[in-house]
């Protein structure tokens, strides 16, 4: 996922639509569902409950190939719907339900990234347990009869901390990420090989009876390749050849890579991919990331993409020759612990997805897309029967039809006279006007910005603008918070008398040095070089001695001295004698903070806070965090003082963070006091409710 600040398309929200009744899929001729079932039933599950780790096959082993029209599973072309679901963004307890809801919604495939920093938190030390048990996740996918699209990368972006790179990687001497650099290529190859070998050992590839049908190497590298010059081109070719040499037996993908080699599938990531064509006639048209929502930043509105527009984009993709489409995301989930990327992306990765952060179906989006998928499946026999281009019919200035059939169709007459397998898509790309069009001897009314799907070239099974699914309404029992998706703005109300205790208890976080892990060093050290990403927080403390002449000078001028830092990232807070003087938020921005100092010694603490490491762009290893340049105290009677090379005391993290006082079993380690109405809270105060 490219973490670029893309505005929503101008056609969001779509023009007001009359929500007409959805024509029931059951109204179609009985033979169409039978043909769709035939096409979908190529591969047989042979182990119904194979997720118990016994290593047995889940499917009869099958090969995965492709041609210019589609991915071919077991010798049959398929039109595939994929659901993006990142295993670490849910708990293992949630996985079975989420996968089942993806299947119920019409998905054939589950797509996920592999997250390098979760699996190799320290060099050579691997972790595949809990939320990072990819083998268990893959077997659960297979047990549901679904396929798996594994995006190994290992760079992910994904709004994930550091784009999925482990922070230790930047400490390797001479390393440069994602370019023709030997130290980086060695580490990348080692990790990718590790993942592939695990998948082989667990017999998870299709030819072993497993679910994996596609893999991805690198991720959206074409967006930044030019920044690396010829070294970028060499690296891309090396990555492709390295992946192919692993002999996985299933195709490899490079998304947004228009110069991908012939043996690698290049694919589309965007809000709309109906106009995308791969760089070779021999490759099928694949949409790796259908952005059906967007991520959220702290302090910004929550993005929303209407179900009608999402359905329109998907229908147009299959209408114009697409063969596999993946929702990014179908379930977004949660950025647990410190996995949220940055800067300043929130811990929720809900993404306005068809399944919300808590695993609840988001209506009408989930249901509307489910109906769409059912209609597409009914069209599958005709879609895979066409070897070249479908018949194209111009129906108006902004209206068109694409007809897929096993033979030539006369679109001016009744379809019953043709005697062919036939499916059609009728599109109205006018954003404002309803239009009636004539085809197959009948008139069809098309809402603005919509696609009508006719699996039998006669009856409308689905129109993208006509929602037949109810809107979500959450109900709760008395005594607990209630929420309705119909509330605007969203509100939390309390029902049935007192629910929350009025007694709050607080515990204050010490500022500056607090633990045995503190140390002194000369100069301003780079944040990540100190913390090694074990915490987002780092404090820098020193003593500043102020003379009587300085105080007299400030009083006579009516001014305060200022602390200046050339550049800070992401949040800097300045404390003087334990009190907050000011804060600054930004990505490598300057800080100029007036400070109140007293005669004699003063304790100055600079507090650096990361809100997610940069997850997108070139030269990630050079970005870093904390402070850059000079740190000065200006406005003294005898000129400025440069603190850049002074002796500072460093403290990693927060005391409450390492004591885990946020967990109920550890709250006894903190000193709690009752909060009073007139209490002045510091920026680092923990609060809990008692007596609930």
> Catalytic amino acids?
220, 289
What's phi and psi for 132, nearest 5 deg? -105, 20
Element spanning 596, H or E: none
Contacts 24+ apart (CB under 8 A), 472-480: 472/360, 472/361, 472/362, 472/363, 472/364, 474/360
- CA-CA distance, 671 to 688, in Å (whole number)? 12
Pairing of strands 641-642, 626-634: antiparallel
> Strands 391-396 and 324-331: what pairing?
unpaired
d(CA 241, CA 254): 12
Rounded CA-CA distance 595/574 in Å is 8
Q: What is d(CA 449, CA 309) in angstroms, rounded to the nearest whole number?
A: 8
Q: Cα separation of 590 and 510, whole Å?
A: 26
Among residues 579, 583, 549, the alpha carbon closest in space to that of 565 is found at 583
Determine the Cα–Cα distance for residues 686 and 345; give it in Å rounded to an integer: 22
Q: List the Cα angle 349/355/356 in 5-degree steps.
A: 45
How far is Cα 140 from Cα 99, in angstroms, rounded to an integer?
8
Residue 632 φ then ψ, to 5°: -130, 155
At 575 the three-state DSSP class reads strand
How many Å apart are CA 383 and CA 318, to the nearest integer? Answer: 8
How far apart are the C-alpha atoms of 309 and 312, rounded to whole Å?
5
- Spell out the residues 6+ positions from residue 479 whose beta carbon is closer than 8 angstroms to its own: 495, 496, 497, 499
- Per DSSP (E only), the strands in 303-419 are 324-331, 391-396, 399-405
The structure tokens listed for 351 are 């993404």
The answer to whether residues 313 and 264 touch, using CB atoms and an 8 Å cutoff, is no
Going by their DSSP bridges, the two strands 600-609 and 462-463 should be labelled as: unpaired
> At CB < 8 A and 24+ separation, what contacts does 588-592 make?
588/628, 590/564, 590/565, 590/566, 591/563, 591/564, 591/565, 592/562, 592/563, 592/564
Alpha helix ranges (H) inside 539-630: 548-557
- Exposed (0-12), middle (13-18) or buried (19+): which is 678, by Cβ within 10 Å? exposed
> Exposed, middle or buried by CB within 10 Å (0-12, 13-18, 19+), for 412?
exposed
Report the 10 Å Cβ neighbour count for 370. Answer: 18
Cα(341)–Cα(616) distance, integer angstroms:
9
Closest C-alpha to 325, from 89, 35, 107? 107
Distance CA 205, CA 147 (A): 10
Q: DSSP letters of 422-460?
A: EEEEEEE--SS--EEEEETTEEEEE-SSEEEEETTSSS-
Residues 6+ apart with CB under 8 A from 6: 271, 294
């Amino acid at each position: 996922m490219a973490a670029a600040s893309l505005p929503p398309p101008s056609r969001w929200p779509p023009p007001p639509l009359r929500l007409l009744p959805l024509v029931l899929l059951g109204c179609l001729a009985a033979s169409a569902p039978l043909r769709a079932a035939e096409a979908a039933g190529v591969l047989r599950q042979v182990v119904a409950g194979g997720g118990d780790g016994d290593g047995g096959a889940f499917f009869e082993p099958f090969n995965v190939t492709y041609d210019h029209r589609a991915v071919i599973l077991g010798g049959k072309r398929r039109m595939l719907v994929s659901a993006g679901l990142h295993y670490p963004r849910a708990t293992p307890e949630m996985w079975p339900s989420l996968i089942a809801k993806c299947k119920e919604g019409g998905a054939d495939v589950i797509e996920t990234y592999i997250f390098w920093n979760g699996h190799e938190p320290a060099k050579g030390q691997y972790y595949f347990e809990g939320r990072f048990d990819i083998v268990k996740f893959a077997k659960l996918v297979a047990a549901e009869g679904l396929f798996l699209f594994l995006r190994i990368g290992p760079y992910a972006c994904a709004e994930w901390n550091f784009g999925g790179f482990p922070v230790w990687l930047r400490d390797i001497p001479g390393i440069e990420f994602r370019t023709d650099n030997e130290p980086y290529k060695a580490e990348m190859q080692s990790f990718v090989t590790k993942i592939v070998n695990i998948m082989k050992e667990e017999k998870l590839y299709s030819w072993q009876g497993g679910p994996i049908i596609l893999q991805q190497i690198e991720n959206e590298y074409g967006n930044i390749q030019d920044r690396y010059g010829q070294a970028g081109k060499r690296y891309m070719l090396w990555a492709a050849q390295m992946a192919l040499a692993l002999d996985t037996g299933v195709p490899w993908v490079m998304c947004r890579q228009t110069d991908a080699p012939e043996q690698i599938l290049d694919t589309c990531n965007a809000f709309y991919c109906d106009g995308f064509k791969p760089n070779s006639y021999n490759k099928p048209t694949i949409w790796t990331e259908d952005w059906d929502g967007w991520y959220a930043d702290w302090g910004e509105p929550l993005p929303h993409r209407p179900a009608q527009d999402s359905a329109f984009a998907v229908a147009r993709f299959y209408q114009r020759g697409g063969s596999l489409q993946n929702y990014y995301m179908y379930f977004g989930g949660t950025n647990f612990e410190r996995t949220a990327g940055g800067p300043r992306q929130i811990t929720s990765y809900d993404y306005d997805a068809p399944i919300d952060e808590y695993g609840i179906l988001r209506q009408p989006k989930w249901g509307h897309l489910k109906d769409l998928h059912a209609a597409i499946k009914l069209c599958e026999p005709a879609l895979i029967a066409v070897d070249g281009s479908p018949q194209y019919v111009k129906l108006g200035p902004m209206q068109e039809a694409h007809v897929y059939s096993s033979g030539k169709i006369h679109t001016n007459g009744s379809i019953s006279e043709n005697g062919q397998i036939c499916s059609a898509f009728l599109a109205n790309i006018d954003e404002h006007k309803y239009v009636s069009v004539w085809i197959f001897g009948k008139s069809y009314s098309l809402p603005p910005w919509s696609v009508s799907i006719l699996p039998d070239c006669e009856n409308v099974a689905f129109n993208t603008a006509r929602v037949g699914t109810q809107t979500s309404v959450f109900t709760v029992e008395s005594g607990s918070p209630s929420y309705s998706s119909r509330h605007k703005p969203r509100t939390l109300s309390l029902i049935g008398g007192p629910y929350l205790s009025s007694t709050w208890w607080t515990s204050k976080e010490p500022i500056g040095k607090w633990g045995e892990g503190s140390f002194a060093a000369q100069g301003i050290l780079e944040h990540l070089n100190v913390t090694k990403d074990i915490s987002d927080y780092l404090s820098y403390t020193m003593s500043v001695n102020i003379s009587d002449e300085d105080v007299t000078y400030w009083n006579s001028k009516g001014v305060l001295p200022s602390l200046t830092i050339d550049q800070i990232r992401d949040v800097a807070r300045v404390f003087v004698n334990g009190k907050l003087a000011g804060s600054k938020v930004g990505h490598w921005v300057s800080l100029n903070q007036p400070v109140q100092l007293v005669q004699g010694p003063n304790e100055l603490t600079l507090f650096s806070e990361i809100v997610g490491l940069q997850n997108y762009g070139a030269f990630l290893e050079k970005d870093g965090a904390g402070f850059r340049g000079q740190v000065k105290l200006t406005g003294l009677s005898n000129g400025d003082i440069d603190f850049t090379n002074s002796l500072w005391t460093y403290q990693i993290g927060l005391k409450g963070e390492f004591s885990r006082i946020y967990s109920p079993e550890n709250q006894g380690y903190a000193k709690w006091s009752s909060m009073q109405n007139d209490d002045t809270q510091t920026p680092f105060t923990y609060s809990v409710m008692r007596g609930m």
